[in-house]
Amino acid sequence: MNSLLLRGGRVIDPCHPGSGDTRDVVVRDGVIAAPQPGERHDETVDATGCVVMAGGIDLHTHIGGGKVNLARLLMAEDHRDGANPYPLPSNPLELASCGTCAPGTLATGYRYVEMGYTAAFEPAMVPSNARHAHMEMGDVPVLDHGAYVMLGSDELFLQLLAEGGPNLRNFSLIRDYTAWTIHASKAMGVKVVNPAGISAFKFNQRKLDVDEQHVRWQVTPRQVVHTLARALRELGVPHPLHIHGSNLGVAGNIQSTLETIAALEGLPAHLTHIQFHAYGTEGPKKFSSAALQLAEAVNAHPEISIDVGQIMFGQTVTASGDTMRQYAQSGLANPRKWVGADIEAMAGCGVVPFRYREQSYVNALQWVIGLEIFLSVKNPWQVVLTTDHPNGGPFTSYPHLIRLLMDRSFRDEQLAKLHPDVAANCALKSMTRELTLEEIAVMTRAGPARLLGLKDRGHLGEGAAADIAVYREDADREAMFRTPEHVFKDGIPVARAGRVIATPVGGTHFIEPGYDTAVEKTLRRHWAAHGSVNFDHVAIGKDELCRCCNGGRLLPTECFEGSGS
């Protein structure tokens, strides 16, 4: 198809003036174009009574790489319906694939697309496992994808940081190592997980506070976070450091979270699954909401963005690079089983099944904390809607979450079902804010696109990729966002009324920051001594990336002018 007219929809496009107006949207050759008088279109879609938005972008969802696959292996019950295997799909276009909290790659693509999402980003790619991560994401149909590579608990980084001394005289070497790792793994950004903590766990430390020293390297999480954030800034990487902070899930961890923000000294950063990092120690159970404290900090720091990691009640599986914290939580596994792993001493991972219960005080409070964060951060551009799939709950619960945020009476009804002490005492019960369609569009597409530096995604301006979701207006926002009427990927109709109708291959987003190749001398030495792969084979080339990703388009994203040399 060459041209498409979407007629008469209410266009919610917060990046441009006139958002919320009823108007036509024209697509020419897969790209949004200006309407021309008298133009004839190959296809016209009637969008009256519908809301038209850019395709959804999930900036933090575990969809590829080692721990996702371990989760699938561990959660055999997620791939059976009662005692029986899931029935085969009734849609002849869909290949057999199933699962909810640990869905197969194909089911991941189908379920996202049916909800109007057109891109998803894997947040925790271990450098030594990057090929596998890209192959799995390449196997996910339709969605564009990319990944953040994990740094900050790898032995070489910690060694370089320790060797740099108090003035970090080898900073440029660390910066080049960061750039090289992005280049070699074809990443879209860098994620630090429990800074230095995954490594500290291997040296038998069971916790690591922001100013506590790693016993082997004598460096602190504060130094790790600041150094990585500075490196990305100087390299001109559009997505700022993606931080999974210290002490995930620990009562009182709001302290670590505020200290982490302070450690950044004004450098931009994205704090991920922040719900798991916003806990106080008040009340009878010494576990309380610190959502308001967190929101106050985010409101005071416009350079900080967050995604929430909302929990949803029911069965899920947590899959995290944070071996230290997953080990600590493994006693709560439901069903009782877990697995941890590492490759090449570069990071780690722990997979722990979890069932969030409405009548559990802690789980009810976690649910409340997530919603309180959504409703008390003032600027929607600083908040991204996530459940940290599958850690807080599967991504298929997004429509339900959207309704909770947009519909106060529905939220209050749900709140009343929770553990009575939580329902009676939380700040949430007096929060009246209901998010608007405009704010939802920011949190689910425009905001993530901007935070990732994707200039032609997340909006419907001229020249943007024609990734579009058309939702029929419905007072029941869950029903509305569950089943969009039409979904287009690069102008191709890919879903209609909740059914996949085409499965084009998605593209791969990555960045290419510049660096001094002299760093490769250090790396070659390190690999020769410690690696199991010949250094010459470590980096993924562009042709290989394309093959890994099922022949999908390569979508390099421009870095901005870095402040470094």
The least CB distance from residue 132 to Zn ion, in Å, is 17
Q: List Cβ neighbours of 163 (8 Å cut-off, separation of 6 or more).
A: 170
Site for Zn ion in 78-137 (CB under 5 A): 123
Q: Which residue has the tokens 């009562």?
A: 251
Stretch in the footprint of Zn ion (CB under 5 A) among 51-59, 100-108, 194-202, 241-249? 241-249
Q: ∠ CA(461), CA(462), CA(468), 5° rounding? A: 60
- Contact between 325 and Zn ion (CB under 5 A)? no
Shortest Cβ 188–Zn ion spacing (Å): 15
Map residue 557 onto helix, strand or coil.
strand
Per DSSP, the three-state class of 327 is helix
Which of residues 191 and 411 has its CB atom nearest to Zn ion in the complex? 191
CA 136 to chain centre: 16
Output the smallest distance, CB 191 to Zn ion, in A. 7
Distances (CA, A) of 368 to 6, 316, 343, 411: 39, 18, 36, 10
Q: Does residue 491 contact residue 4 with C-beta atoms inside 8 Å?
A: yes
Question: Rounded CA gap, 161 and 213, in Å?
Answer: 12
Q: Which is nearer to Zn ion, 125 or 235 (CB)?
A: 125
State which H helix or E strand residue 360 sits in.
none
The pair of three-digit structure tokens given for residue 221, joined into one six-digit string? 């999480």
Cβ closer to Zn ion: 245 or 564? Answer: 245
Binder to Zn ion among 28, 186, 239, 244 (CB under 5 A)?
Answer: 244
- Least distance to Zn ion, CB of residue 309, Å: 7
Residue 4 burial (CB < 10 Å; 0-12/13-18/19+)?
buried
Here's the x/- map for Zn ion, 375-404, by CB under 5 A: it reads as -------------x----------------
Nearer to Zn ion among residue 143 and residue 494 (C-beta): 143
Residues pairing with 56 in the sheet: 117
Residue window 326-365: x/- pattern of binding to Zn ion, with contact defined by CB under 5 A: ----------------------------------------
Comparing CB distances to Zn ion, the nearer of 63 and 98 is 63
**Of the listed pieces 17-25, 239-247, 425-433, 459-467, which binds Zn ion according to CB under 5 A?**
239-247
Cα–Cα dist 402/407, whole Å: 8
Task: Give min distance, CB of 537 to Zn ion, in A.
Answer: 29
Nearer to Zn ion by C-beta: 342 or 388? 388
Nearest CB to Zn ion, comparing residues 244 and 270: 244
Nearest approach, Cβ of residue 403 and Zn ion (Å): 23
CB-based contact 65:132 (threshold 8 Å): yes
Q: At closest approach, how far in Å is the CB of 306 from Zn ion?
A: 13
Helix (H) or strand (E) holding 317: strand 314-320
Neighbours of 93 (CB within 10 A): 12
Give the separation between CA 280 and CA 94, rounded to whole angstroms.
Answer: 46
Map residue 157 onto helix, strand or coil: helix
- Which C-beta is closer to Zn ion: that of 123 or that of 138? 123
Name the residue nearer to Zn ion (CB basis): 123 or 564: 123
CA 453 to chain centre: 15
The window from 43-51, 238-246, 450-458, 482-490 that contacts Zn ion (CB under 5 A) reads 238-246
**In whole angstroms, how close is the CB of 475 to Zn ion at the nearest point?**
33
User: Which range in 211-219, 243-251, 422-430, 514-522 contacts Zn ion by CB under 5 A?
Assistant: 243-251
- Tell me which residues touch Zn ion (CB under 5 A): 123, 244, 388
